[in-house]
Structure 1
Amino acid sequence: MSSVAPEAELDVAVIGGGMVGLASALALRERDVRVVLLDPGEARARTSYGNAGVISRGSIFPMSSPALWAKLPSYLRNADRGLRLRHAHVARVIPWTAHFLAAARTSAWERAAAALLPLTSAALAEHARLADRAGAAHLLSRPGWIKLYRTDDAFASAELERAILRRHGIALDILDSDAIRDVEPALVRTYARGMLLPETGAVSDPGALVEAYERLFLDLGGQILRQAALRLVPVEDGWQIHHAAGVVRARQVVLAAGAASAEIARGLGYRFAFAAERGYHRHFALHPDSPPLTRPVLDTGAGSILAPMGDGRVRVLSGVELNARTAAPDYHQIEAASREAAGTLRLGAPLDNRPWMGVRPSTPDGMPVIGAAPRHRGLIFAFGHGHIGLSTGAITGRLVADLATGATPAIPLAPFAPQRLLGWPCWRLPKEERRSA
């Protein structure tokens, strides 16, 4: 449905049609809640469209890690392939930067891993359930994924990560050079060590999975308004959601607009410690004589991921770029990642006219924001999932539906509370906009 009558009596308006927002809308419809999903409908602009399609129990580590301090000089010089900084932008997101540096402690890293584990552990089963309902089970598989290390020193430096994974009961297999060639013969580069995480699912076409979930939402009677939410206004009996073509009214709002969420929340006086992580990908064909790549692989030396997609394509994904959400694309990282990939796989010609760029919503502690807004009744935040938005989006949708319907969430949400990122001078609200939580 492309329009919603202004007088329509709606229970919930979900802002954002990426994986988190769409799964939230779906979970609400499964409970017979009257839902409208607001999204401009630009499929390629969604982060869910362009990621590696990895759904892993082991995706429990924030970007800010104890290894940050040793790498900081190379990060600041843009000498590390995994991270590219726009220094002026980093200076403009000082709250995020301060929190990010504070999170680079072993104790903080371990706490985040423990908090994220219930979320990542439930991710694949919930996707399997939804994909089956949506007729998209063929897009999911469970091949595992591999982290590759070019040197023994690089492998040794990741011992803390492996220790934490083992402590939480996450299966992993250590591979030497010969074992890597055996399990993934498409790789032509020699690696010293690898870590195979077998409890990992893969999506062969993330964009198609999002589209299948959207069709399911419509089949269940959900409504979609192809508009971007511009402003949220609290009213006596709920909310007005202003967009370019008018206004929608609903009793509750779920803000799940990815990297745009912080800007929308700012209109209500919430200033989150928040930044935009931009990422790029490009598709290549494999050489006709190459064996297929059977699972996603992370080349830690290149700071990039190679992931098999449908029709024999390989998706090459860059590292992280910290820059303004709306800044012009900078293809430096994806060009470097593509050159490295050509030494790792027997690649054919690129299949895209230009690389894709997307923007991930980044919290400094690497954990999403999931919970009720502290100052406004009927507003639920669900954003900031960073690199695990597609992976944990489906289970986040169930948790959002629990919050909206008054059920007890199956996963503890205290670590994801919005208040943890709101400790900066930000709540100077006009009296007429204040509402009791």
Structure 2
Amino acid sequence: MQQDERTADIVVVGGGMVGLSSAIALKDSGLDVVLCDPGEARARTSYGNAGVVSRGSIFPMSSPALWGKLPAYLRNADAGLRLRHLHLLRVMPWAAHFLASARTSAWRRAAAALAPLTDAAYPEHRRLADRAGVPHLLRESGWVKLYRTEEAFAGAALEREILAHHGVPFEIHDGAGIQALEPALIRPFARAMLLPETGAVGDPGGLVEASEKLFAGLGGRILRTTVSRLEPEAEGWRVVHPGGTVRARRVVLATGAAANELSRPLGYRFAFAAERGYHRHYALQPGSPALTRPVYDTGAASILSPMGEGRVRVLSGVEVADRHAEPDYRQIEAAAKEAAGTVRLGQPLDNRPWLGSRPSTPDGLPVIGPAPRHQGLIFAFGHGHIGLSTGPITGRLVADLATGRTPSVPVAPFAPGRLLGWPRP
């Protein structure tokens, strides 16, 4: 069987929002770009996102509040986190440093690093949606965090303080104000925080597909394949896939939670965990007002996000497990049960829930930057819950790095080398 042999200026491995945005920005920079991705839309984490693009998405999961919740987490008694205990040995390096990051000082540092990235997220998303011919998929509707009790609202005071410090606007509403703000809600809530400078993507999978068409229309080349390995050569890189190879001077690794599979053979062992998440679509009951923006019910640790035509996407909390483990639908079933008390939820519209794996770093910051030990290799992964949100701005940063321009957002906090001194998994 004849092997396919190609050349390019740069190869992007991974076709989620980060990889696609990188490929488009690199193509805009005048480079010959090959994008390698299997093309399985539902397998991309970007497909299953809540669609929130917010300036306020500056907080890692490793918050100072974790310590008070840790006993419940370990017993799987909190909806926000479910542990597959048999899998914990595989993520012990991540878990140890995740816990070490659950300090107020570390939370503040992470927020300061992420704020410039999230500040630039919506404008880049708007530009991408317009260019891809799907401006209707993105609207600046804001999003709402809901608190069932005054005590829960008071417990989030540090979050509001940090948001204010970074100039992220928010509005506080009481029970009556919440009902006026979002008439679809039927559960009484004590308080709500509206973050108005937030975009909502009405179909994340559709936006990814439109971005792929944009890339192809710009002359970008797409190889529908997985990549087996990356091999450094004297003049660049040899990207090996089952059907052949692509030789290029540079490679961008943007494969999300799977990044370790290609970086480990090169000597890079990142302390990653797969933060698995589930979603399922439901209809609203006839006569129910539409949900107009994404809402996060902090009491249920789940998000309800409108996805057009009367559909609501219910998203679960986080499951820490091997990313190849069989699904466990108990968490999404519990989230749907809670959601039915929050809005007038009707019948499920999917045969089964969706499952995807978010790439989680211990400090909650993405990995964006050149590989420390290999010329021409750029890492762009580890975005956790904000991969869809910050994908377009990450793509611009990748293009800056590849072409020698000064990045438009400081990338030093995201440098790959910061993680390599930690114990190896």
* TM-score, length-scaled by structure 2: 0.98
Q: Aligned to 2:280, what secondary structure does the other structure show? A: strand
Alignment match, 1:186: 184
Counterparts of 1:5-404 in structure 2, within 5 Å, are 5-6=4-5, 8-404=6-402
In 2, distance between residues paired with 1:310 and 1:150?
A: 27
Mapped partners of 2:145, 2:3: distance in 1: 47
Rounded to whole Å, the distance in 2 between the matches of 1:91 and 1:188 is 42
Aligned to 1:423: 421
The runs of at least 4 consecutive aligned structure 1 residues that moved more than 3 Å come to 424-427
In 1, are the aligned partners of 2:3 and 2:244 still within 8 Å (CA)?
Answer: no
TM-score (normalizing by structure 1): 0.96
- Residues 329 and 357, structure 1, Cα contact 8 Å, conserved in 2: yes
Q: CA deviation at 1:91?
A: 2.2
Alignment of 1:396-415 (within 5 A): 396-415=394-413
The structural deviation recorded for 1:88 is 2.4
1:292-324 CA-partner distances (Å, limit 9, x unpaired): 000000000001000000222000000000000
Q: 1:86: Cα distance to partner?
A: 1.1
SS of the residue aligned with 2:228?
strand
Contact 1:279–1:318 (Cα < 8 Å) also in 2: yes
Moved more, 38-47 or 89-98: 89-98
Q: CA deviation at 1:280?
A: 0.3
3-state secondary structure, aligned to 1:242: strand
- Please report how far the alpha carbon of residue 5 of structure 1 lies from its aligned counterpart in structure 2 after TM superposition: 4.9
Percentage of pairs with the same residue: 71
- Over the aligned positions, Cα root-mean-square deviation in angstroms equals 1.3
Q: How far does residue 425 in structure 1 lie from its aligned partner after superposition? A: 5.6
| Structure 2 residues not aligned, in runs of 5+ | none
Q: Is the 8 A contact 1:269 1:426 kept in 2?
A: no
Whether the aligned pair in 1 keeps the contact of 2:4 and 2:244 (CA below 8 Å) is no
Per-residue CA deviations over 1:315-361 (Å, capped at 9, x if unaligned) read 00000000001000110110000000111111111000000001100
Q: Against the structure 1 CA distance between its residues 78 and 237, is the aligned structure 2 distance closer, same or farther, given a 3 Å change threshold?
A: same
SS at match of 2:389: helix
SS for the counterpart of 2:252 is strand
What is the CA distance between 1:95 and its match in structure 2?
Answer: 1.3
Number of positions where the alignment pairs a residue of Structure 1 with one of Structure 2: 424
Q: How far apart, CA to CA, are the structure 1 residues paired with 2:39 and 2:3?
A: 15
What's the CA shift for 1:29?
Answer: 0.5
Question: Any idea what SS the aligned residue of 1:334 has?
Answer: helix
1: CA distance, partners of 2:151 / 2:89: 33
TM superposition shift of 1:262: 1.4
